[in-house]
Amino acid sequence: MSFSDIFKSSFLENVNSVSLVDMVLALVLAFGVGMFIFLIYKKTYAGVMYSSSFGVTLVALTMITTLVILAVTSNVVLSLGMVGALSIVRFRTAIKEPLDIAFLFWSIAVGIVLAAGFIPLAVIGSVIIGMILLVFANRKSSANPYIVVLSCSDKAGEDRAMALLAENTKRCVCKSKTARAGHIELNLEVRLNDDDTDFVNRLSELEGVESAVLVSYNGDYMG
């Protein structure tokens, strides 16, 4: 086998299987739609700590998926090998917000659809999905749950605090209670009246109340 025979292979024959124009157009569109997904994620994020790296990941994931699908669609044999190669990939990063999973699948789906050539479907579908997310994810409600962590020194202080909470909230439910000598701690789920949090100041000033803490609660709860 001569030196030239080594490079005379199907690898070199497949170099031009995807045209340069198609590659550039697909990647530019993937970047544009990925940036749109990133902006929607930034506008609709409602978690505790915003991570800009996850937003960049959405853009990169859209472009990488487009790149992979372009390669797969150009060669049937390569597509079979790609399935085996990707099957060994494992993701260890925990997804803390349920909505983040939707954004990940959105990025992957857009990359696949763009690489398959369904450009109107990817663009128009992304616009519709983005509008739906903006409407529902940004909808604020005064009935959003909060957690009040209440520390009292005696039963009388607890009763006074519960009476004030009943007057100033739409709903007040005790989630947990810890009692020991000279100290009572309560975790209460409350629904506010028009986002009014001044009652927390009055709680801390009550006789028998040592401290009152109001925390926004974004976890799962029973309605």
Residue 25 has pLDDT above 70, yes or no: yes
Residue 190 has pLDDT above 60, yes or no: yes
- The whole-number pLDDT of residue 5 equals 53
Give mean pLDDT, residues 123-131: 93
In order of 25, 26, 28, 67, the CA distances from 21 in angstroms are: 6, 8, 11, 13
d(CA 186, CA 172): 12
- The whole-number pLDDT of residue 125 equals 93
Between 9 and 131, residue with greater pLDDT: 131
**Angle at CA 39, nearest 5°, toward 56 and 95?**
55
- pLDDT confidence bin for 59, thresholds 50/70/90: very high
Give mean pLDDT, residues 166-170: 84
d(CA 124, CA 119): 8
CA 132 from chain center: how many Å?
15
Give mean pLDDT, residues 16-28: 80
> If 0-12 CB within 10 Å is exposed, 13-18 middle and 19+ buried, where does residue 121 land?
middle
State the Rg of the chain over Cα.
28
Q: Which of 26-35, 85-94, 201-210 has the lowest mean pLDDT?
A: 85-94
Residue ranges in the chain assigned as alpha helix (H): 3-7, 10-13, 20-44, 52-74, 76-86, 98-115, 119-137, 155-168, 199-205
- The whole-number pLDDT of residue 135 equals 86
Asked if residue 70 lies in contact with residue 115, where contact means CB atoms within 8 angstroms, the answer is: yes
Give mean pLDDT, residues 38-52: 80
- Other Cβ atoms within 10 Å of 27 Cβ, number: 19
- The whole-number pLDDT of residue 220 equals 45
Residue 63 has pLDDT above 60, yes or no: yes
- The whole-number pLDDT of residue 221 equals 41
Domains observed in the chain: 3-137 (no CATH), 145-216 (3.30.70.260)
